[in-house]
Structure 1
Amino acid sequence: MKNLNINNQNHLNNTDLSHAPRMLRLKVVMDLTALGSTTIYDMLDKKSKRYDPTFPIQVKLSKGRVAWVESEVVKWLETKIAARAH
């Protein structure tokens, strides 16, 4: 088992992860957007008055665990900033 862990670590060391999508937990999305969890989930709910089809959809990673793609959240924020009245 120890050899397997060493092999996995060597593989990670030799893998270029610079292009790997960074996944964000809800708390980080909340911090970045200044939105609460209820607002975020309302923005994803087509039945909600606060529904926003432009808000990034979360990725289901496993049962009970979701995350957002960082680049999609950043792009959404940049769109909001660009759309503000000057």
Structure 2
Amino acid sequence: MRRIETLFELCRLFPRLVVFILFGMFHNNPRTCDMATSSEQNQDRFQRRPAVEAMTGLSRSSIYSKMDPRSPQHDPEFPKPVRLGKRAVAWRESDILAWMNGRQSTAA
């Protein structure tokens, strides 16, 4: 069996292994490595409309009705979206969760 003596030779012989090792070292995914700090874990995430629909169980029209002051379904407590670009908005995950936790259960 031949002995690998240099890092360059290792990279040449096993390029996928090197990429896998580097990806694991520098990728900040808490599921794959413990490099994430507590401040990274506490960061607020933006959720796009399909995710908000899934979290709340509301349809697209219901979400926008809750935000429209002229609508009979208007809910002033419902979180406002944050503009991400010209045609893109998202909601803060913490705002959605706070709104959901603040709702009283209507189930008897």
Change (3 A) 1:32 1:14: closer
1:62 is aligned to 85
- Residue type of the alignment partner of 1:29: V
Change (3 A) 1:50 1:18: same
The structure with the largest helix share of the pair is 1
TM-score (norm 1): 0.75
User: Which of 48, 65, 74 matches 1:51?
Assistant: 74
- Residue type of the alignment partner of 2:64: Y
Q: Which has the higher contact order (CA 8 A, sep 6+)?
A: 1
Alpha-carbon RMSD across the aligned residues, in angstroms, is 2.1
Alpha-carbon separation, structure 1, partners of 2:36 and 2:53: 33
Name stretches of at least 5 consecutive residues in structure 1 with no aligned partner. Answer: 1-9
**Number of corresponding residues:** 74
Q: Which has the larger radius of gyration?
A: 2
Name stretches of at least 5 consecutive residues in structure 2 with no aligned partner. Answer: 1-25, 29-34
The structure with the largest strand share of the pair is 1
Change (3 A) 1:17 1:84: same
TM-score (norm 2): 0.60
Alpha-carbon separation, structure 1, partners of 2:65 and 2:73: 6
Q: Where do 4+ consecutive residues of structure 1 move more than 2 Å?
A: 12-20
